[in-house]
Homo-oligomer: A and B are copies of this chain.
Amino acid sequence: MSGSRTQAGDRLARIREQTPLVHSITNYVVMNFTANVLLAMGASPVMAHAGEEVEEMTSLAGALVLNIGTLSAAWIGSMHKAGEKAAECKIPIVLDPVGSGATAYRTKTARELLEQRRITLIRGNASEILSLRGEDSQTKGVDSLHSVEEAVESAELLAGELGVALAITGPVDLVTDGRRTLRILNGHPLMGRITGTGCAATVISAAFLAPDAEPVEAAASALAFFGLAGERAGENASAPGSFQVALIDELYRITPEELAAGVRIEEA
């Protein structure tokens, strides 16, 4: 897919030029890590969750991330407010339904955001994505009990029904809008041994969507970029602590040309 190759490189170049502001309403666990991920790759992170200011902050941003990893009622209210403003400003919204399927509260919150807000892309693991359609899915805390392949059909149906793009991450990642499905082969097993790599995939996708509203190609480029950073990190690091450090380094180092050369995306 030489088209995907060039597009991924061009998209990264554009991010580095524009440093899009990504507004995240996200969980406490990953705030620091995902902010560092965005800064390293060349985007600009901001976190704000108060009802008093979320709309104003969203209106300054190039993309909005709604991540339900450590929920509470006030934060859900702010997610809806920010989501409404994002639709008004025509900026993309990426939903990360962390732990959907594990508790009814998370499943309900994720579905309501999906139904009531204009979500551009959902990024989750297979269990989380399955739970959004009311499938009999189980999520073990925040980890998936299902493979990406088990979730393909549901994802394609869900995407078609709701007019949203879906990115399901795992050993192989999959992006679909119901009409077109791409598989992203880049990645490294140690990415599953660091907290917040799923959430990082989400904010990277948001940064790639900021200058470009076409979600399937943008999300696939983002996941290929993140996966390539993982592959390169894994060349020098063999355990999660040093791998995480190297991963941030690679997000900073990979050039658009190196990304274009390293992308492994397949039409599914």
A interface residues with partner B (beta carbon < 8 Å): 21, 23, 27-33, 35-36, 39-40, 44-50, 52-53, 56-57, 60-61, 69-74, 99, 102-106, 140-143, 193-196, 239-242, 244-250, 252-253
Which one, B33, B48, B50, contacts A32 given CB within 8 A?
A: B33
Contact A46 B142 (CB under 8 A): yes
Contact B71 A105 (CB under 8 A): no
Q: Looking across the interface, which residue of chain B has its beta carbon closest to that of A40?
A: B240
Q: Report B-chain residues with C-beta under 8 Å of the C-beta of A35.
A: 29, 195-196
Complex formed: what's the CA distance from A40 to B69 in Å? 20
What would be 5 A-B contacts, judged by CB atoms less than 8 Å apart? A36-B195, A36-B241, A39-B193, A39-B240, A57-B102
Q: Looking across the interface, which residue of chain B has its beta carbon closest to that of A55?
A: B103
Contact B195 A39 (CB under 8 A): yes
Contact A50 B33 (CB under 8 A): no
Q: Report B-chain residues with C-beta under 8 Å of the C-beta of A193.
A: 39-40, 252
Q: Looking across the interface, which residue of chain B has its beta carbon closest to that of A74?
A: B72
Complex formed: what's the CA distance from A47 to B102 in Å? 12
Contact A29 B47 (CB under 8 A): yes
Known: A45-B195, A241-B248. 13 other contacts (CB 8 A): A28-B28, A29-B31, A36-B195, A47-B69, A47-B70, A48-B70, A48-B99, A48-B103, A53-B104, A239-B249, A239-B250, A241-B249, A242-B249
Complex formed: what's the CA distance from A123 to B35 in Å? 21
How far in angstroms is the closest Cβ of chain B from A206?
Answer: 13
How far in angstroms is the closest Cβ of chain B from A94?
Answer: 17
